[in-house]
Chain A
């Protein structure tokens, strides 16, 4: 055990010290946060500049409309202007533009509203201004028809249908959040199995080609060497994820104040900004839904399946690394039977993320070669405990079995040089007693 620990430590330290590890570990969180920040920045409309707009409302229909907000600062002109000076007004009076509403405006067929400026209105400001005027006109028409506004509001607000389903499978939103989490978990496991599995295989190949394997196994059991390597790389992976999570949280904390203040924006929003308001509410309810999920259970199971799946596949990758000799095409040919179930399981996991209770989902989340990928995709929906227990038990038994199997191949493989190993020979090694 002491030797396994020494091997694990060496594996860990040499890998963590590598430049590629440091670069990748530091770069990913920056890219991740940068990407999200960019997304939010764009979505929040890049903090619109407030426009100074002079208003010449000859109709006096919209007098209550000219209140300042984040988009506009209105300056209502009391004195009429001569028609020929309208277009030059903004330039001479330091305003961004002049909004002109004719006195003959027909609220049923509004025409003749003009905006005078050197520059066109930015698209967003145009939309906001247009919807302000449209809303005001809608109110005017309703009041002409003597419709009580409160009634209208109460009718509009109360329409919201919830179709309740069995098993707390409540809102559409919740389903969306679950699908997202399921897919992210499935993808992460997929990535881990392939990426770290191949790392293990490469490491074993390197030791074999360097001939250091023969020196080491004259001091320790081949099994210890294999196990030390597999566990060392697992530790490297866990470290990397831990650093990523911490860095992302720290960066997020640092960047958050710099981003446009979403809350303040929402407070300032006019009724016209309904879509933005909805987005914000959506964001809040998404995080609410997230917190409703069995998060702790998901995290614990994720780690268990990550370890189980990793040990299962990494030992097989190690076995393959031990039988190939430098030749990369040999390695590819032999890894195919191992990567295939991972890829298939990932595809199943993507389906299961939408349909977590199908027979296929239940079967593949119990079957140990696919369960690490499929079960994590089912977790957000809640899985009966007996299925979880059975699946983990099967996974544990299988990974012990594959590790034992791999150790047999590995032991012979690492000492065999310059010879192409056939599957038949591998089968014979497995049948051998000692």
Chain B
């Protein structure tokens, strides 16, 4: 059985269905990217998983047991999209307090908070108020507060917003090391390049429903459209190949992106080009970016739902 299993979760607000029949299984040690446009229901879904709100229907199975916020919240670390810390409370004290709320003893919380503050290069700020910190620094404090109790499930809502590349790398490395230690990490973001870089699994949702899920690699494979990048000498020209098995979608000074016709394999194309006397310098498959997949899928859903409505 999966480490975390969401089954037919539903959460309805007044008029709209924030989350509508959402199911997903997630395993330990994975990094899941939760993608979706604004208002897709991501925050509502995450809040249900953290036990802040209760689903109207469906169930959450966590570690082979029905999710019980009272018992399980200590195993979860949640970093909400809108950061929250007490501005007029010193960094160290605040970390210890939040750690203790997660069940750490006072001594343990202090030791760990100090270790993390060292790791994140915040020692000089230990007894300064959070209100005095820059946005990036308080972001790091927030991250420490989220993982201080070494949770098995880490939920991060836009963890990199406001961080410079150096600090973003610092946090990304910590996320990887938690995943290696076996924690399940879910993070929600709009930044597709980060998802491609970090997440091994993605799930895309819109209007409360799941549109697609799977390993990042596989999803991209699944969405590939027989497109290739090709570099030849001389440069390919569209008019040379009016009856040919592909069309040129775009070209730069030395490369072209080609779209293969149906039932044409890459080998057919290469054979043909070699026969024609082209020199092939480079030939690679073009996988769609998550961004394209995201936009295409969401648009498709919007399109089909408007047809249904009509």
Contacts and interface: CB of A to CB of B under 8 A. Distances in A.
B102 A211 contact: no
Nearest to A18: B88
Interface stretch (B79-87, B209-217, B288-296): B79-87
Contact of B84 (A7, A14, A214): A214
A86 B82 CA distance: 93
Nearest to A3: B101
Contacts of B69: 221
Interface stretch (B34-42, B50-58, B160-168, B169-177): B50-58
Contact of A211 (B51, B52, B80, B89): B80
Interface residues of A, number: 22
A253 to B, nearest CB: 37
B73 interface: yes
Interface in A1-58: 3, 6-7, 10, 14
A210 B98 contact: no
Nearest to B76: A218
Contact of B85 (A7, A212, A425, A434): A212
B101 A219 contact: yes
Contacts of B70: 221
A221 B76 CA distance: 14
Contacts of A304: none
Nearest to B77: A218
A14 B101 contact: no
Given A3-B101, A6-B97, A218 B84 contact: no
B145 interface: yes
A211 B145 CA distance: 14
Interface residues of B, number: 30
Interface in B249-277: none
A211 B138 CA distance: 13
Contact of A218 (B50, B82, B86): B50
A215 B88 CA distance: 16
B47 interface: yes
A415 B70 CA distance: 19
A246 interface: no
Nearest to A432: B56
Contacts of A434: 54
Contact of B82 (A6, A211, A220, A221): A211
A7 B73 CA distance: 17
A14 B87 CA distance: 12
B82 A417 contact: yes
Interface in A177-228: 210-221
Contacts of B54: 434
B199 to A, nearest CB: 22
A213 B47 contact: no
Most chain A beta-carbon neighbours within 10 Å: one of B73, B84, B142: B84
Nearest to A217: B52
Nearest to B84: A211
**Complex A-B, nearest 7 residue pairs according to Cβ-Cβ distance, in ascending order:** A211-B84, A212-B84, A218-B78, A219-B101, A211-B82, A214-B80, A218-B50
16 contacts: A6-B100, A14-B88, A14-B89, A214-B80, A214-B82, A215-B85, A216-B101, A218-B52, A218-B76, A219-B73, A219-B74, A219-B101, A219-B102, A415-B52, A425-B14, A428-B14
Interface of B: 14, 47, 50-54, 69-70, 73-74, 76, 78-80, 82-89, 97-98, 100-102, 142, 145
Given A216-B98, A218-B51, A415-B52, 6 more contacts: A14-B89, A210-B85, A214-B52, A214-B82, A215-B78, A221-B70
